Amino acid sequence: MPRIDAQGCALLQKAVDEDSEMVRVKRDGGSVRLGAMAALATALCGALAMPAQARVPGKDGAFTVSAANTTVNATTTLTAGATSGATTITVGSAAGITAGDVLMLHQAQGATISTANANTYGAVTALGNAGRYEYVSVASVSGNTITLGTACDTTPLRFAYSGGAQVVRVPQYSSLTVNAGASIVPAAWNGSTGGIVAVIVDGTATVNGSINANGRGFRGGAIENDTTDPATDVTAYVAATTVDGGEKGESIAGSQATYDGLGGRYNRGAPANGGGGGNAHNAGGGGGANGGNVATWNGQGVPDTSLAGWVTAWNIDGTLTATTNSSGGGRGGYTYASANQNALTRAPGATQWGGNLRRERGGLGGRPLANNPSTTGDTRLFFGGGGGAGDGNNGAASAGANGGGLVFVIATAVAGSGNLQANGAAATPTVPGHNDGPGGGGGGGSVVLVAPGAGALSFAASGGQGGNQLITVVESEGPGGGGGGGFIASPAGTGTIAGGVNGTTSSSALTEFLPNGATRGNTGNAATAPSLANVPICNVPNLADLSITKTNTPVSGPNDQAADTVVSGAQTTYSVIVTNSGPGPAINAVIQDAPAAGLTCPPANAVTCTSAAVGACPAGPLTVANLTAGVTLGTLPATAGSNTITFSFSCTVQ
């Protein structure tokens, strides 16, 4: 039977031969069986109803993933900004997008930050459109212009988006199976597209493998191999030249190219949720961030106090203490030292350390952000920030690590014991001869599962580990800070959102204090996932169930009837009956019926419409020509006694 959404857009068609009254036509004493008006009768989206196109559940069928690193999302970008309330969007390529599809719009960047050359560098002054996301359905596609479905709202686009925002085609599976050892991943974020796995499963999602965006979010700061002389103290938080420090991690404020227009891409200041680069000479990079308490950030991370002696060392740091508990990413370690001193008694910056005096100049940890997948509140989801690069001049430094991306799964039910993850990547260690600073870990990304329950699935959006300095001689440089934890919204409100551990040094001069100034990232946030009603998606269910019966003697029902013999050449009245079995009303459904061979029905013949439901019949006179072209109904309720419309007309049996 045709399934009609609440706004009247038919999603299925049905040939009514099985319900059509079969009549006997008497010729010369004999008779033949003839399908009375047995043409295809359909309730479908006509020209007036098409803008109401809702998504088509299960459109992409059942899907099984048996290989690792399988991608399922096609991506493109907006070629121009789209305003809230827009009914169309224009994309770089609409290839593969068709009516009934679901798209996710997501703007990764666009925040405004402070550019002051101080600890406040990178503070978010306005989020802009950064983190905005929503799902939209596709009504039609013309070239690269997509008309959005209006089944839920005549102004379907909820939020505004800047040109360049990402557009992701979201498959609608009838069922999804991810086998053990298999995985679904996105392409890595490249500054325009990637980083997102989004699927809708109108059935059971059985995950024994992984759906993850680990390390697919914002990019870490790149290696630079140019720094000041060992004795120069560089205190700047932002600089435009490589000699001053390592490159900052990417963030909601933009890429490193964006930072060039904001005072520079180098040095320890943390741009929004990106980690700061280590300052010269050879400090470690800061960790990226995403989740956490926005109000408790100071960029210093969380000192590792695993050993009692380390508590002593932290308490003479001069900037933090052993009890410091900053949200977000971890801080990078100290600058270059050339001497072997006791780090438990000799404070950073003392001349006895030699070199650059082992100063506290590591990249600051990225700032936490307020993720919220629900339409209740400020709706935003973010990638994990990239870690800052360690400062280098000997070809031994390492880059900042990438943050985690975004995983968003909507499912009717879930099964399996696999995982959904968006962990930040770990920074790589230094390379031989290891006499430079390593980068910071990536911030955890975001994971959302909207389903009745989570079953045995596990969730993780942890920060990545800071880079290790693998030097074994007396010389030392600062390790990388750990990435901050990300964000998880699951049915149970649980998951692993740990901060990444800091890197360590292997220097023979610092066996008593392996962190050498680098700190851990802090934990992220876990929350209960919103109900589907509070997700920015038009999820109009099939609220009306329309059936069509065609008969010349409707009082006898839709089955083959005893009194159904008609004489060739005689005029007979036929009826097409539309019934709404509910549970909701059908609005603006379209009935289309063309005469079949064996019947003569002149186009000008009148068609009468009757219904107990006021306003269900179309206004004005109707003809067979109108019915052949398609007639738009009014509102047909599901209430018994008022849930039918009958179209009657006369034809001559040939």
Phi, psi of 126 (to 5 degrees): -160, 130
Report residue 132 as tokens. Answer: 């905005």
Q: In sequence order, what are the beta bridge partners of 549? A: 577
Contact 151, 100 (CB under 8 A): no
Q: What is the spatial distance between Cα 654 and Cα 651, in angstroms, rounded to a whole number?
A: 9
Contact 442, 288 (CB under 8 A): yes
Mean pLDDT across 132-147: 97
Reported as a single tens digit per residue, the pLDDT across 525-573 is 999 999 999 999 998 755 667 888 887 544 555 555 555 667 788 888 8
Q: In this model, does residue 49 exceed pLDDT 50? A: no
DSSP 53-100: ----TTTT-EEEE-STTB----EEEBSS-B-TT-SEEEBS--TT--TT
**Among the three residues 173, 199, 215, which one is the final residue of a domain in this structure?**
173
Is 132 found in the same domain as 26? no
pLDDT of residue 52: 52
Is 89 found in the same domain as 25? no
Reported as a single tens digit per residue, the pLDDT across 484-521 is 999 999 999 999 999 999 999 999 999 999 999 999 99
Is 94 found in the same domain as 162? yes
Is 129 found in the same domain as 16? no
The reply to whether 69 falls in a domain is yes
The reply to whether 165 falls in a domain is yes
Reported as a single tens digit per residue, the pLDDT across 336-361 is 999 999 999 999 999 999 999 999 99
Is 576 found in the same domain as 620? yes
Instruction: Look over the chain and give the mean of its residue pLDDT values, rounded to a whole number.
Output: 90
Mean pLDDT across 112-138: 98
Say which CATH number the domain at 73 has. Answer: 2.40.30
Prior bond to 583 cis, omega within 30? yes
Reported as a single tens digit per residue, the pLDDT across 231-289 is 999 999 999 999 999 999 999 999 999 999 999 999 999 999 999 999 999 999 999 99
The reply to whether 160 falls in a domain is yes
CA torsion, points 590, 591, 592, 593, in degrees to nearest 10?
Answer: 180
Domain interval for residue 119? 51-173
Is 149 found in the same domain as 65? yes
Contact 424, 220 (CB under 8 A): no
**Among the three residues 173, 191, 213, which one is the final residue of a domain in this structure?**
173
Reported as a single tens digit per residue, the pLDDT across 2-22 is 333 333 333 323 223 323 333
pLDDT of residue 608: 97
Reported as a single tens digit per residue, the pLDDT across 220-229 is 999 999 999 9
* AA identity, residue 551: T
Q: In this model, does residue 24 exceed pLDDT 60? A: no
Phi, psi of 617 (to 5 degrees): -75, 145
Coil/strand/helix, residue 173: strand
Which of 80-89, 202-211, 264-273, 572-581 shows the lowest per-residue confidence on average (mean pLDDT)?
572-581
pLDDT of residue 587: 72
Q: Among 542, 532, 478, 481, which residue's Cα sits nearest to residue 510?
A: 478
Question: Distances in Å between the alpha carbon of 179 and those of 204, 232, 315, 414?
Answer: 14, 56, 50, 13
**Among the three residues 142, 173, 204, which one is the final residue of a domain in this structure?**
173
Share of the chain above pLDDT 70, in %: 89
The reply to whether 387 falls in a domain is no
pLDDT band at 594 (very low <50, low <70, confident <90, very high): confident
pLDDT of residue 218: 99
pLDDT of residue 593: 86
pTM above 0.85, yes or no: no
Angle at 517 between CA 504 and CA 233, to 5 degrees: 120
- Report which DSSP code applies to 529: P
pLDDT of residue 199: 99
The upper half-sphere exposure of residue 559, i.e. CA atoms within 13 Å in the direction of its Cβ, equals: 1
The reply to whether 571 falls in a domain is yes
- Other C-beta atoms within 10 Å of 230: how many? 17
The reply to whether 289 falls in a domain is no
Share of the chain above pLDDT 90, in %: 79
Phi, psi of 646 (to 5 degrees): -120, 125
The reply to whether 364 falls in a domain is no
Is 37 found in the same domain as 108? no
Q: In this model, does residue 69 exceed pLDDT 80? A: yes
Prior bond to 110 cis, omega within 30? no
Mean pLDDT across 199-204: 97
Is 57 found in the same domain as 27? no
Is 29 found in the same domain as 77? no
pLDDT of residue 33: 30
Residue showing tokens 């942890």: 462
Reported as a single tens digit per residue, the pLDDT across 360-375 is 999 999 999 999 999 9
Is 639 found in the same domain as 558? yes
Is 645 found in the same domain as 630? yes
Q: In this model, does residue 592 exceed pLDDT 50? A: yes
Is 70 found in the same domain as 38? no
Domain count, the chain: 2
Beta strands in 535-643 (DSSP E): 544-551, 565-567, 571-580, 586-587, 590-592, 599-600, 606-610, 622-623, 631-632, 635-636
The reply to whether 639 falls in a domain is yes
Q: In this model, does residue 577 exceed pLDDT 70? A: yes
